[in-house]
A and B are shown apart, each in its own frame.
Chain A
């Protein structure tokens, strides 16, 4: 297991942006009223935000978040020496969105910029990469931009995915700080589960054809095109409630900590029944678990920082001990513990 610690890096602040356009699952008329009630009760997802046809991309949501965060923290942009964009919904196949954002955000040409192609586990992985690089190269400041616009790939005709996903983009500022407490990471992968959450067509293994865009009736009242997101909910559930508690129990053992050691445990916002199963297995009391599921649904890689901004922004302004865990598409999962000295989280941006 990749278990390691990173010194000298602290989190200064997190900002998040969501589209203004709101969808309510109570209005989803592909389900009966009874089905809708059961869906909302089981998944915890009442409302979601979608970019719809505004043309806003993940990079735009991340850019708005970064602008607000850098301004509020009065950061000299010349000091930012690395920017990493984590997403599975980039602006282009190439070039990497992070490089375009380096220019758009007015960051110096001395800045390292690259993308990471991960979903639900992406925030934890992104923190590990940026912090390791910053510590090794003694970079003053770094920006981690994380988010996804999953609603583009989840058609209304597919009730197995449409009510679950929302869009969001975030920005996190990290700083070289010799007084920072260590961050501790445990990262894992299992590619044998690559088909559990997959978009099958559009890249190089199966390039687009005309049929990639045609909705196909796959039974149970579900229609989906090969370019759309396909999700095997039961496999993902079993993976998450088995591997995540195992990863974190092992993490507790290696770090000599327990649920009591942390102020908040912020999980990837998958769905309520899955997250609550994980919470109970790890014996975390409900008050330590923030949820933004009811407002924003599953926002893929954005879910952990978005939940911190929307649910904890006033609480984490004082020093906090956080445990963060992302898990899903890949399959990929990871956990990080970190202590903040007080995070600056500007109010959620709606655009």
Chain B
């Protein structure tokens, strides 16, 4: 997932993101990034992450955990 995120965002060097990276700390984080994350979650895990769920997520690890939890509940 981390590699996919690095690929989707502009100007993020490889290896810049780790599971503990706070998503809002990602360079240039904004609504476009939120959209990209939600699209990626839909494509990769077949799940829908709502705007307020994304806002409650801190790190990339949290995001991954949320995806797994939602996927299990499908």
A interface, CB within 8 angstroms of B = 32, 34-35, 37-39, 41-43, 160, 220, 232-235, 237-238, 241-242, 273-274, 277, 280
CA distance A233 to B30 in the complex (A): 12
Are A241 and B42 touching (Cβ within 8 A)? yes
Are B36 and A273 touching (Cβ within 8 A)? yes
Are B54 and A277 touching (Cβ within 8 A)? no
Given contacts A160-B31, A237-B38, A273-B36, contact A38 B50 (CB under 8 A): no
Closest chain B residue to A234, Cβ basis: B51
CA distance A233 to B50 in the complex (A): 11
CA distance A119 to B63 in the complex (A): 34
Interface of A is mostly: helix
Are A277 and B32 touching (Cβ within 8 A)? no
Choose among A41, A42, A241 the residue with the greatest number of B CB atoms under 10 Å from its CB: A42
13 contacts between A and B (CB under 8 A): A38-B32, A42-B32, A42-B35, A160-B31, A220-B30, A234-B35, A235-B51, A238-B48, A238-B50, A241-B48, A273-B35, A274-B39, A277-B43
Render B22-48 as a binary contact track against A, CB cut-off 8 A, 1 for contact. 000000101111111011001100001
CA distance A46 to B33 in the complex (A): 18
Closest chain A residue to B33, Cβ basis: A38
Are B35 and A242 touching (Cβ within 8 A)? no
Any chain A CB within 8 A of the CB of B9? yes
Residues in B neighbouring A37, C-beta threshold 8 A: 10
Are A238 and B38 touching (Cβ within 8 A)? yes
Interface residue total, chain B, C-beta cutoff 8 A: 20
Return the contact of B31 from the options A34, A220, A238, A277 (Cβ within 8 A): A220
Residues in A neighbouring B9, C-beta threshold 8 A: 38
Residues in A neighbouring B33, C-beta threshold 8 A: 38
Are A242 and B51 touching (Cβ within 8 A)? no
Closest chain B residue to A241, Cβ basis: B42
Residues in A neighbouring B34, C-beta threshold 8 A: 234
Return the contact of B28 from the options A38, A235, A274 (Cβ within 8 A): A38
Q: How far is the CB of A314 from chain B (nearest CB, A)?
A: 32
Q: How far is the CB of A297 from chain B (nearest CB, A)?
A: 15
Residues in B neighbouring A238, C-beta threshold 8 A: 38, 48-50
CA distance A37 to B50 in the complex (A): 25
CA distance A41 to B31 in the complex (A): 14
CA distance A155 to B74 in the complex (A): 41
Are A34 and B10 touching (Cβ within 8 A)? yes
Are A42 and B28 touching (Cβ within 8 A)? no
Residues in B neighbouring A160, C-beta threshold 8 A: 31
CA distance A274 to B35 in the complex (A): 9
CA distance A277 to B48 in the complex (A): 12
Return the contact of B32 from the options A35, A241, A242, A274 (Cβ within 8 A): A35
Return the contact of A232 from the options B30, B38, B49, B51 (Cβ within 8 A): B51
Other A-B pairs, 18, CB within 8 Å; known A273-B36, A280-B43: A34-B10, A34-B11, A37-B10, A38-B9, A38-B10, A41-B10, A42-B35, A160-B31, A220-B30, A234-B31, A235-B50, A235-B51, A238-B50, A241-B39, A241-B42, A242-B48, A273-B39, A277-B39
CA distance A241 to B39 in the complex (A): 9
Are A234 and B54 touching (Cβ within 8 A)? yes
CA distance A213 to B33 in the complex (A): 30
Q: Which 7 A-B pairs have the closest CB atoms?
A: A234-B51, A38-B10, A38-B32, A273-B39, A238-B48, A42-B32, A37-B10
